[in-house]
Chains A and B, each alone.
Chain A
Amino acid sequence: MRFAKPLAKLVAEFEKLPGIGPKSAQRLAFHILRISDDQARALAEAVLDVKERIKTCPVCFNFTDQELCEICADPERDHSLLCVVAEPRDVAAVEKTNEYRGLYHVLGGVISPMDGIGPDALRIQELFARLADGTVREVILATNPTIEGDTTAMYIAREIRSTFGDNVRVTRIAHGMPVGSDMDYADQATLIHALQWRREI
């Protein structure tokens, strides 16, 4: 079936989204056609708004619409505890557990020799800059239990130890999750368990 040009264009845009195949793209496009003009405008504005207003926090590199993100700006949180994650969505996964009261550091990826991604491509220097003032006493490495996540954690642990010695405790989130799964999909019980049972590496 051939679509009118504007419709075909919308379908094509939806298809570019992760997890959306041709069938779902068509379904979404037809749904948009059915909704009211106001609803459609609200959706379009939300998309533009998020692109315009959401920036990365200059300290932890999580997404935020403030100068400093809410977590970094919160004096109630434990500033001596730093949880290192790969992506902003991992911050959301840990926050959902309501168990963790420290700060975060978002690396922006993981070391992946298979894809040619080395430590220089991640925000590791920025992490070390944060550790330099001595406020942080413990770093919790919460990367996924995959080969890339493990390699990243081991690399950071080694570098921290050689730079800061015993001044910074390094722990790895004790994964109750099976090897290979994404933290993003970890259920809350598993994550809470993992946060409580982190181990020294």
Chain B
Amino acid sequence: MKVYVDSGIVIRRIDLGEKDRILTIYTKEYGKLSAVAKGCRRPGSKLAGPSEPFVHSKMMFAAGRDLDILTQADVRESFPNIRRNVTTASYAIYILELVDKFTEERQPNSELFDLLLSGLYMLESETDPELTTRYFELQILKALGYEPHFEACLRCGNLPRSGRIAFSPSLGGIHCCSCSAVPNDAISIPVALVSYARVLKAVEPNRVRDLRFPTGARRDLARVLKWHIRYRLDSDLKSVNFLPQGHIGAATQPRSN
């Protein structure tokens, strides 16, 4: 029986039978994979802790006929601060769902693993959870080649100095609103938002805690990224409605006016 070891973070789990769970794990070397944690719902099981969402462990797997088996796990970080707070826990779960929805099984991407881990550490260290999540959204989109563009109008290359422009999910970035017909999925945003978005795209993870974003920029960026992600995934994320900002643009997609 083939045995392998990897560093992994549980991103989802479903109950199997009376005592087991099937875990979806994002690992550093193998990417996303599923494995059975046998007996993890029994009290006293050594696998109980490592089978919880966003717990980071060193894991040992045995290749199975249908599903691989998680045979041993040694917890490296259980992120107790995230668990202690409903708001940070909701953001963390949303981040896990993003990783789950954006990835296929067994497509290694160690950069994404590191990104996920640093996102969780940012939440654990009480970095603003909303900004951490926006940062994570921008970085995961970048890592997977779906990066939204905020540099200049994607049609003409100009950027007005003030006033309002549009962000179009189908275009994948901003439109100046004057050079050509505005895409019909465009979201109206103030020009000022692009500088906030560019900062958050370029900053190092440990510097996010120093950023100060006004309420309006937070709201607009949340909305823009929500629709950009929705367009890429072609589906809704279940956990998005649990975020404090979850209601933004939830009902219908806003049109430019």
Contact = CB atoms under 8 A, between A and B. Distances in A.
Given A18-B18, A154-B86, A186-B43, A146 B241 contact: no
Contacts of A113: 89-90, 93-94, 238-239, 242
Contacts of B41: 180-182, 185
Nearest to A180: B48
B45 A114 contact: no
Contacts of B85: 154
Contacts of A114: 12, 53, 93, 96-97, 238-239
A151 interface: yes
B71 interface: no
B44 A181 contact: yes
Interface in A65-115: 113-115
A187 B86 contact: no
B49 A178 contact: yes
B83 interface: yes
Interface in A132-168: 146-147, 150-151, 154-155, 158
Given A114-B93, A114-B97, A150-B89, A178 B17 contact: no
Interface residues of A, dominant DSSP: loop
A6 interface: no
A18 B44 contact: no
A150 B84 CA distance: 8
B129 to A, nearest CB: 14
Contact of B52 (A118, A154, A180): A180
Contacts of A186: 43
A89 B50 CA distance: 25
Nearest to A146: B52
B78 A179 contact: yes
A177 interface: yes
B29 to A, nearest CB: 24
A178 B239 contact: no
Contacts of B12: 114
A155 B86 CA distance: 7
Nearest to B19: A185
A118 B17 CA distance: 24
Interface string A160-201: 000000000000000001111110011100100000000000
Nearest to A117: B238
A179 B53 CA distance: 11
A24 to B, nearest CB: 11
A18 B20 CA distance: 12
Q: Taking each of A19, A158, A180, A186, which has the highest tally of chain B beta carbons within 10 Å of its own beta carbon?
A: A180
Contacts of A155: 86
A19 B15 CA distance: 11
A150 B44 contact: no
11 contacts: A19-B18, A113-B242, A116-B241, A154-B85, A177-B48, A179-B52, A180-B45, A180-B47, A180-B50, A181-B43, A187-B43
Interface of B: 12, 17-19, 40-45, 47-54, 78, 83-86, 89-90, 93-94, 96-97, 238-239, 241-242
Please list the 4 inter-chain residue pairs (A to B) with the smallest Cβ-Cβ separation, ordered nearest first: A180-B48, A116-B238, A113-B239, A113-B242
